[in-house]
Amino acid sequence: MKKIPIRHIEEPNLAGNFSIKSIENLLNESDMVQELHGHNFFYLLVVKTGSGAHEIDFINHSVDDGTLFLMRPGQVHQLTLKAGSTGYLLQFKPGFFDAQDKLTPQFLRQVSHRNFCKLPQIQFDKLDKHLTHILQEFTDQQEGYQDAIKSSLHIFFIELLRKCHANKAAIPVNNSYAQEKLEQFLELLETHLTIHKQVAEYSRLMNLSQYQLSTITKSLLDKKPSELINDTIILESKRQLLATPNQVNQIAYHLGYEDASYFIRFFKKHTGFSPETFRNNFK
């Protein structure tokens, strides 16, 4: 069974855990066209000026001035970026931040649940200053540059969370526990999906009752845990169908279904298409 094409960070600096490049240098006066693939790292594309199209997990976005795209490891995308675009591409692994730094990964987890953000010029310029500083530190590599980059990223993610999630209702301080548990549930979904598909299994892993887990997901996402489980199964199914040549029965087995016919019925119920029809229509 073939796996989804996964790209890795090729930057030798910072132990291969981080890189930042200007879009201008990457394009070199040519269009960038990337076919569907995934990453094993966080991917942050910040477009200062430019145009193109960016599809992340089968949702289409326009590339315009002042747009930001943040992808988590495991997501898939395809990108067309037109020559003349400007901005930055940052890539970093989850283990890039120091083990004792608990806050930066927390901000990153929160902001990365939204893949796309478009900002007005004034707000974008404030973020741009942080990225200019990070690029300079990465280029010069003077003493302490790694710490400077991590500190700047910490501030950048705080600003990004404020600006890109400004239209969402703020989470009250006394709901920080619920937010933490929600993020734990979403992370468990990504790592245990092929094994666990029942709400009871996840609530047990989290030491919560099913009622408590349901209250958290309903209050913060307005969805039941079972809906989030199904959404994640369907999303991973689409990734496998469109990014690999694997047969439907292989994909079903990969997702933990011994009965391929059950998987086919499940997929059609939630998408309106059989897996083969979906692949033929959208690939």
Spell out the domain ranges in the chain. 6-164, 176-282
pLDDT of residue 172: 44
Q: How many residues does the chain have?
A: 283
User: Given 2.40.30.10, 3.40.50.970, 2.60.120.280, 2.60.40.10, which CATH number is that of 6-164?
Assistant: 2.60.120.280
Most confident option among 48-52, 161-165, 176-180? 48-52
How far, in Å, are 76, 83, 92 from residue 265 at the CA level?
24, 44, 38
Query: What is the pLDDT confidence band of residue 99, given thresholds at 50, 70 and 90?
Result: low
Query: Which tokens go with 191?
Result: 């790592």
Give the C-alpha separation, 16 to 41, whole Å: 11
Mean of pLDDT values over 91-101: 78
Residue 277's pLDDT is: 95
Average pLDDT over the chain, rounded to whole?
89
In this predicted structure, which of 57-71, 101-115, 148-162, 242-256 has the lowest mean pLDDT?
A: 101-115
Homologous superfamily of the 176-282 domain (CATH): Homeodomain-like (1.10.10.60)
Averaged pLDDT, 260-271: 96
Q: What is the mean pLDDT of residues 16-27?
A: 91
Q: How far apart are CA 199 and CA 267, in angstroms?
A: 19
Tokens of 139: 């280029």
Average pLDDT over residues 109-119: 88
* Dihedral sign for Cα atoms in the order 249, 255, 259, 263: negative
Three-state SS string over 33-77 comes to: EEEEEEECCEEEEEEEECCEEEEECCEEEEECCCEEEEECCCCEE
249 has pLDDT over 70: yes
The residues with which 49 forms a beta bridge, in sequence order, are 86
What average pLDDT does range 185-205 have in this prediction? Answer: 94
